[in-house]
Amino acid sequence: MKLGPHLAHLLKIKCCFWYCRSVRNCSLQGSIPDFSRIANLSYLDLSWNQLSGSIPQNKLSNNMTTIILSHNRLNGSIPKNFSLLPSLQKLSLENNFLNGSISTDIWQNKIFNTTSRLVIDLRNNSVSNISGAFEPPVNVTLRFQSNPICSSTSIRNIGKYCGPDFGADDDEPSNSTNPSGVCPIHACPTDNYYEYVPASPKPCFCASPLRIGYRLKSPSISYFDPYKQLFESYVTSSLQLDLYQLWIDSYFWEKGPRLRMYLKLFPVVGDNTFNESEILRISEIFASWEFQGSHLFGPYELLNFTLLGPYSHLNPEMKGKRQSKGVVIACIVAAGAFAAFVSSIATILITRRRAKYQKILSRKRLSSSLSIKVDGVKSFTFREMTSATNNFDTSTQVGEGGYGSVFRGILADKTVVAIKRAKVGSLQGQKEFLTEIELLSRLHHRNLVVLLGYCDEEGEQMLIYEFMPNGTLRDWLSAKCKKNLKFGARLGIALGASKGILYLHTEADPPIFHRDIKASNILLDSKLTAKVADFGLSRLAPVQDDEGLLPNHVSTMVKGTPGYLDPEYFLTRKMTDKSDVYSLGVVFLEILTGMHPISHGKNIVREVKMAHKSGVMFSIMDKNMGSYPSECAEKMVELALKCCQDKPEDRPSMLEVVRTLETILQMMPYTDTDPLDNKASFSETTSSASFSNTRSGDLFISSSNVSGGDLISGVTLNITPR
């Protein structure tokens, strides 16, 4: 069945809604379809596309408040049916080729109250006349700059609406690629998708850009504007371009939170287009993940690399290059598979011949022919592991857990690593083990411990992680630690751990419930950045069933650590994301009080709830935190107790936890605002009052008579491994 042009175009727009979450900047072409049959439509944004033709004359929904058709190639007159929209608040038609007259009925027929407002933007068009009495009320903002109407002497006070800054709205996001609004769109050729280079050192320079869809998967920021210039420097330096060659066309936050943006890359001044080799170079950098690492912006994904106009002929060639690469890769994989098959047969024959002469050892067997190649994760030999740990000498052991032992190792290239060696009872089937490696290799977040490699030889299963020189959070809260974490550092650690858990819940594919969040599973690097550890395949969140339904829990055998376990999970064996929230709330209470979850028959949640209810919360706060703002401490206590509510539905989501901690952190008196400095310090006013005579309403609380603005105090860290 052949679709009509309007129906086909409408389907394309629906697809763009699905994939782009917005019809803005989706490279749409053709005419605008008829939206008059959508009864409840209230917002329409088709801006920054290549739409042409006239604006449909059919009346839109009475609910319509906003129409944005700017930065297209629309022509013809402005429809009078806009005057029939009683709820209209914004009509944005700037930077098109509209001509003829505009009817004053659009604003004269509206009934305004004291707060209602209508903005009509027609800048950079060819409107030549106004039909009707031109007496706009104060509630109406008109923008006519760069239209023939502005030179008319017959329209009273028309110059008032033709100034470059008239009606400027500070609350309205600016997204114009017309620098300062001084270059009329008609001066830039419309063929080959030319447009002005917004930041060009040469005024009104026209060029054809590359259009790129780009998404930050887990940035460590919640607000983009303060970091926009840093991001521009980060991208242009990675692409070896000048700053003016990048333009962030639009951006918006998605669930996660993830930051989606649309970028335009312009050629250097003097060249109106990129040459073929430069396009291929840039596309390969994006496609091959060659961007330098950034803790601030985190991992990214390329959504689209759109080649239009003068670049459209490159699509088949680039596709061919990818296909040729794919053929080579397929050949290599096939050859490798054949070699593995031959090797497997030879291994079986040799093993059978020598079986009667070999002594079978429980932990000494040849590795299976199953293997995987995972980008960024190295397969280590058993010999490399024994060499790194001096044959697993007890002096290199730094930890012990249910899974096995953890050793500090030094690789041949002097890299210090943590080697997690499974004990016999924890060994998985090899297929499950390699599947877990593949899963862990896809997890990338600044607040998760990085997997560097694995070892699957000699009947051993080992995971090799980056080494955390500052141990665990539990070590730092222990009385054995001779250094004291100040309140600001503890707050930063709580926020970092929360962001890591949020990533596991929302960004991991598939999502992961940690199930064993505790202070000893939160590690600290050299800058005291929190890194969540001990997550993996056995903690996968629910997946869709055959009918596409997603359960809200996973039924499992109860696993976890006493004192951190969600009571609801313990009773029902149903693990949810709120189970992790409960455990994290217990960690927050540890951070605030220094207490263990269970000690001498006392439960930390019950003890803190009683102290908070009795109004003596500050009497049980950790006395090693130094001075801190009482309001910040109170808000963190409230958050921790919300996380530890008995009913899961009463607990906040992980996103709410992160946002609350960010708000508390913003309340702290910063002395170092460098966003790239992970070791920000806080200026803390010291009070001479002790806990016995300090009121919770005081601005600052001093947990001891020790003053200080550093994050940590004391001398050498001396922790006995557990």
Beta bridge partners of 472: 523
Looking at residue 375, its pLDDT comes to 64
Query: What is the spatial distance between Cα 359 and Cα 640, in angstroms, rounded to a whole number?
Result: 56
Looking at residue 654, its pLDDT comes to 93
Query: What is the spatial distance between Cα 289 and Cα 165, in angstroms, rounded to a whole number?
Result: 42
> Could you tell me which residue, 289 or 663, shows the higher pLDDT?
663
Strand ordering across the sheet containing 451-455 = 378-380, 451-455, 462-466, 416-422, 404-410, 397-400
Start-end ranges of CATH 3.30.70.150 in the chain?
186-316
- Phi, psi angles (nearest 5°) of residue 305: -130, 90
Q: Which two tokens stand for residue 339?
A: 């070699």
- β-pairing, 530-532 vs 522-524, is antiparallel
Q: Does pLDDT of 356 surpass 50?
A: no
Cα distance between the two ends of the chain = 71
Give the tens place of pLDDT for each residue, 363-381.
444 344 445 566 668 889 9
Nearest to 245 by CA among 257, 262, 233, 261: 233
Beta bridge partners of 483: 714
Give the tens place of pLDDT for each residue, 247-257.
988 888 887 77
> Could you tell me which residue, 339 or 410, shows the higher pLDDT?
410
Query: What is the spatial distance between Cα 573 and Cα 437, in angstroms, rounded to a whole number?
Result: 27
Query: Domain 378-466 carries which CATH code?
Result: 3.30.200.20
pTM over 0.75: no
Q: Does pLDDT of 600 surpass 70?
A: yes
Most confident of 73-77, 175-179, 341-345: 73-77
Nearest to 409 by CA among 433, 393, 429: 393
- Considering the segment(s) 473-539+555-714 as one domain, its CATH architecture is Orthogonal Bundle (1.10)
Query: Which CATH class, in words, describes the domain spanning 186-316?
Result: alpha beta
413 annotated active-site: no
Looking at residue 467, its pLDDT comes to 92
Looking at residue 639, its pLDDT comes to 96
Looking at residue 547, its pLDDT comes to 43
Contacts of residue 360, Cβ cutoff 8 Å, sequence gap at least 6 = none
SS3 letters for 87-108? CCCEEECCCCEEEEEEECHHHH
Q: Does pLDDT of 646 surpass 80?
A: yes
Neighbour-count burial of 347, counting CB atoms closer than 10 A to its CB (0-12 exposed, 13-18 middle, 19+ buried): middle
- Phi, psi angles (nearest 5°) of residue 638: -60, -40
Q: Does pLDDT of 423 surpass 50?
A: yes
Per the residue annotation, which of 249, 456, 475, 516 is the catalytic one? 516
Q: Which two tokens stand for residue 169?
A: 């709205």
Q: Does pLDDT of 546 surpass 70?
A: no
Looking at residue 83, its pLDDT comes to 87
Query: What is the spatial distance between Cα 587 and Cα 54, in angstroms, rounded to a whole number?
Result: 61
Q: What is the mean pLDDT of residues 63-87?
A: 89
Q: What is the CA radius of gyration of the chain?
A: 31
Looking at residue 181, its pLDDT comes to 47
Q: Does pLDDT of 472 surpass 70?
A: yes
Give the tens place of pLDDT for each residue, 181-198.
456 655 677 666 788 888
Q: Does pLDDT of 572 surpass 50?
A: yes
Looking at residue 331, its pLDDT comes to 57
Query: What is the spatial distance between Cα 645 and Cα 642, in angstroms, rounded to a whole number?
Result: 5
8-state DSSP, 459: T
Looking at residue 314, its pLDDT comes to 78
Mean predicted lDDT score pLDDT of the chain: 76
> Could you tell me which residue, 417 or 399, shows the higher pLDDT?
417
Q: What is the mean pLDDT of residues 481-493?
A: 87
Of 410-424, 598-612, 665-679, least confident by mean pLDDT is 665-679
Start-end ranges of CATH 1.10.510.10 in the chain?
473-539+555-714
- β-pairing, 246-254 vs 66-68, is unpaired
CB atoms within 10 A of CB 182: 12
Q: What is the mean pLDDT of residues 317-338?
A: 53
264 among the known binding-site residues? no
Q: Does pLDDT of 541 surpass 70?
A: no
What length does the chain have? 722
Start-end ranges of CATH 3.30.200.20 in the chain?
378-466
Give the tens place of pLDDT for each residue, 663-693.
998 888 754 433 333 333 333 333 322 233 3
What is the topology classification, in CATH, of domain 5-161?
3.80.10
Query: What is the spatial distance between Cα 509 and Cα 299, in angstroms, rounded to a whole number?
Result: 14
Query: What share of the chain has pLDDT > 70, as a percent?
Result: 71
> Could you tell me which residue, 24 or 524, shows the higher pLDDT?
524
Q: What is the mean pLDDT of residues 66-88?
A: 89
Q: Kindly provide the residue ranges of all beta strands, DSSP E only, lying in 559-661, ordered along the sequence.
A: 574-575, 598-599, 602-603, 627-629
- β-pairing, 66-68 vs 90-92, is parallel
Looking at residue 626, its pLDDT comes to 81
Q: What is the mean pLDDT of residues 400-407?
A: 80
Most confident of 15-29, 293-307, 574-588: 574-588
Q: Does pLDDT of 470 surpass 70?
A: yes
Q: Does pLDDT of 120 surpass 70?
A: yes
Q: Does pLDDT of 15 surpass 90?
A: no
Most confident of 189-193, 406-410, 706-710: 406-410
Q: Does pLDDT of 282 surpass 80?
A: yes
**Which helix or strand (DSSP H or E) is residue 476 part of?**
helix 473-477
Q: What is the mean pLDDT of residues 8-15?
A: 44
Beta bridge partners of 53: 74
> Could you tell me which residue, 176 or 97, shows the higher pLDDT?
97
Q: What is the mean pLDDT of residues 97-123?
A: 83
Query: What is the spatial distance between Cα 261 and Cα 249, in angstroms, rounded to a whole number?
Result: 7
Neighbour-count burial of 223, counting CB atoms closer than 10 A to its CB (0-12 exposed, 13-18 middle, 19+ buried): exposed
Looking at residue 702, its pLDDT comes to 52
Scanning the structure block, which residue is given the tokens 């055959």? Answer: 546
Q: What is the mean pLDDT of residues 19-39?
A: 74
- Phi, psi angles (nearest 5°) of residue 460: -105, 150
* Degrees to nearest 5, angle at CA 628 with 705 and 484: 65
Looking at residue 269, its pLDDT comes to 87
Q: Which two tokens stand for residue 511?
A: 């999502």
> Could you tell me which residue, 144 or 438, shows the higher pLDDT?
144
Looking at residue 91, its pLDDT comes to 92
Neighbour-count burial of 486, counting CB atoms closer than 10 A to its CB (0-12 exposed, 13-18 middle, 19+ buried): buried
CB atoms within 10 A of CB 694: 18
Looking at residue 66, its pLDDT comes to 86
3-state secondary structure of 631: helix
Give the tens place of pLDDT for each residue, 331-352.
566 666 666 666 767 677 666 6
Amino acid at 436: E
8-state DSSP, 682: B
Looking at residue 565, its pLDDT comes to 86
> Could you tell me which residue, 558 or 466, shows the higher pLDDT?
466
